[in-house]
Amino acid sequence: MAAPSPLLVLGATSLVGRFALPRLEAAGLAYRAVSRGDAPGRLQADIETLEGLAALPRAETVLSFSPVWLLPGALEALKANGLKRLIAFSSTSVVTKAQSSSAYEQDVVANLMRGEDAVRASGIDWTILRPTLIYAEGLDGNVSRLAGLARRFHVLPISGHGEGRRQPVHADDLAGAAIAALTAPAAIRQTYALAGGETLSYRAVCERIFEGLGMRPRILSLPPPLWRAGLALASPVLPGTTAQMGERMERDLVFDDAPARRDLGWSPRAFRPRF
């Protein structure tokens, strides 16, 4: 009987992927890591352009930490190479930004939906994971960017009172969930929201960031019109920031992770970042 082929890890250098590799090694799971760039110990392939896919080794199981919208074009090539089981990462943004007035955010939602639909229609055993607000101290573009602003200016301005609830989730916990899904029969052809271990107001998230910096929290609540005006002035140094982000500071972006706790043993850490 032939030995099972090593796992193929797509997006090995991504935020979650870099935490997954040590976990795979600790679990004694054989894998081959794939990245777009030429890096020691990595296979080189680009799932967006499909360059290098045909040269990848046979793999029945794929962990994809790449954006789900990059998968549609690559699925047939992966299936031809033996793919039977896929763990793919999407985002809860497919829900939270669905009604956004921003053309950019609407494109994000459309791309996420396109990727998820392709995975579901692939005919393989898939699991889709939808994280909430991902962070990893000093590495992410969400919490760590706020930490950088707090460190620089010693104050974080927010729109309104920042009462909208959030569930920040650590990238390392997400890596653990992806690996747990590999051996969870109940996870086949299921989509899971993966929320962090605490539900906090946006304001409280900002306060925890200050605490993680060893600084006294200083939050400046601004009327939404004033926040938007300030954002327009600051946009050159805050790429990717939209007015809709301010609007969401007063909205709850909360998800039920009970199915993940039941099927994957999901037990994420509390939000206590340390920078």
Confidence of residue 247 (pLDDT cuts 50, 70, 90): confident
Confidence of residue 2 (pLDDT cuts 50, 70, 90): very low
Is the pLDDT reported for residue 240 higher than 70?
Answer: no
Distance CA 131, CA 195 (A): 6
Is the pLDDT reported for residue 33 higher than 80?
Answer: yes
Mean pLDDT of the chain: 92
Per-residue pLDDT tens digits for 124-145: 999 999 999 999 999 999 999 9
Confidence of residue 234 (pLDDT cuts 50, 70, 90): low
What ranges make up the beta strands (E) of 139-270? 156-159, 165-166, 169-170, 190-194, 200-201, 219-222
Distance CA 251, CA 135 (A): 20
Distance CA 217, CA 204 (A): 10
What is the model's pLDDT at position 227? 79
Cβ-based neighbour number of residue 35 at 10 Å: 20
Average pLDDT for 160-167: 95
Confidence of residue 154 (pLDDT cuts 50, 70, 90): very high
Query: How many residues does this entry show for the chain?
Result: 275
Per-residue pLDDT tens digits for 101-128: 888 899 999 999 999 999 999 999 999 9
Average pLDDT for 74-83: 95
Distance CA 16, CA 88 (A): 12
